[in-house]
Structure 1
Amino acid sequence: MEPLNHLESFVQSAEGGSFSEAARRLGLTPAAVSKNVARLEARLGLRLFQRSTRSLTLTEGGERFLAQIGGALATLREAVAGIDTDDGQPSGTLKVSMGQAFGREHVLPLMGGFLARYPAIVPDWHFDNQQVDLVGEGFDAAIGGGIELPAGLVARELARIHVVAVASPAYMQGRKPPGHPSDLAALDTLMRRSSPTGRVRSWTLRRVRGAGGGEGESEVSVELPRPRAIFNDPEAIAHAALMGLGVAMLPMPFVERGLRSGELLRLLPDWYQDAGAVWLYYPSKKLLPPKTRVFIDFVLERFREERFAQRMQVA
């Protein structure tokens, strides 16, 4: 029997009309789909498609072969999907990638409720700040920001993340709170070095919409003297701020707990940075295993109930 991925590549190419569309559905590259189809043709000794630079059409033999395997392949799909269920419940190992601090603070607390609802699923969660090849490394899903979205990958936005200026009450004691971003130059600053580039990230703040009566600057780049300390990890910067070492600009996921508890103070409440969005990534919706589907639904449900998106924004 031919490998299932060869047959799937053929059927999806026939239904989608191109190797690119088949790749999007299957979470592969067009080159991989084309190679699978070519291997199938070589094994059968039959040309299945007429190829041109603009179109992909079934040959007569290809149409006959598609009709012969269509029903059988659907049955195989159902059988494979059934492997991921245990007595009607989703089961299996769920491999998910997520950022270290974000995962510990905002995703790991969901595990108890998730396992109570789906006891046959075994989480295999990878806490790593490096981007992963979701399909190539066999991940069922990933949570993070800025992942390149290749064909076959779906992204659902969890929240837009704002970056705010914070300091500990101990550090601010006896100091005048800044009224404008330029006032930060008079304070000790905790800066972040970009791991990919090695550069120290500058601070550019945006005014909250409607603040200041709509007058004045809407965006300000802050010229800072020599920083008090430089780190390449936002979690380390958050700890340094809690220790009272200076002022930091940090994403809300790293400081929300400290702001709620009073361990950190929000400075410049009319100003923030936009750090982009945090996303939930997973392979194409087609043929999504039950364990992955219920994880996606559970995360979206819980983040919505906890008003995560609203808590991560200040504007």
Structure 2
Amino acid sequence: MKKLISPYFSAVTRALDSEVFLINSLSSHQGVKGSANEQALINILEKFLPKKYSISTGIVIDRHGVQSRQCDIVIYDAFNYPEVFGQTPIKFFPVDFVYAVIEVKTNLDRNKLLEACENIRSVKALDIVRDSFRVVPTEAAEEISDDTVIWENVTTTKPQGFVFAFGSKAKSFETFEKWLEPRESIELAPNHVFCLDQGFLVNHPNKVLGFPCLLINEEGTEFYSNEDYDPVEIDGHNWMVINGSRYPVSETGQYKVAIDQSKVLLEFISILNKMLSLKTLSSRIDVYNQYLGSLLEQKFSLQDGELCAHKI
């Protein structure tokens, strides 16, 4: 299986990398580049995420009318949410139907990561409807025993937040890791940060865990470093050309190592899919009552020829 999976995701990553390279070479306008790169990632997600997730871009709102900043990618529940706020050029998404938001960066640096963190914070700070409800067990029927909890109580949770970058200005993985400072409130911070030329970061309370995605040989026993191949500079970045393919180089400790971009992409899709499955939404939340209730509660009736106001 590994002989199939690895080349497959390498091909997917090369196609994505080529598309982004073409976009960036054809346009000098940063806004155009950013929007096109976001769409390139959306196209990938639409292919690899379950169809129950809808993907778009826009602004997240809560039932009080508070708005987030513009979000590059919004993953939401279109099955239970009628898009009553999606009929204008700028789409608005009720936070209670949003699984996750993703901030997309073409070339990440510390300031751009801080900006992405603030955008995610603006979403996670929104007021969700707190609802507790019961769900059925997920065990297969043959695994259910006398100790199985037949009903599990769960509570609605805030959307997940991710940062995805196609490249970075970091020469070393340590630099990339230090960009994500531990936040006082982990609830408002990004859950993960992924960068195709580095690896990924996991945000934990008071600690950031970093995982460089090294290119490993077919035997799975060694990684490729400057002891095997000399890095070459291409378009201002260091690369290693191995078996006819080029890989970005990152400094990790005493080594300059080749980064496996396909592994970063696979980790991103796998972790994103897992985190989305952990997000709790309540199908009992009614967008018309929760978000438009104040507009609907005022009623009028005609009694003996007179208009009478009622609050229902």
TM-score (norm 2): 0.23
Task: Give the structure, 1 or 2, with the largest relative contact order (CA under 8 Å, sep 6 or more).
Answer: 1
Whichever structure has more helix as a proportion of its residues is 1
Give the greater-gyration-radius structure (CA). 1
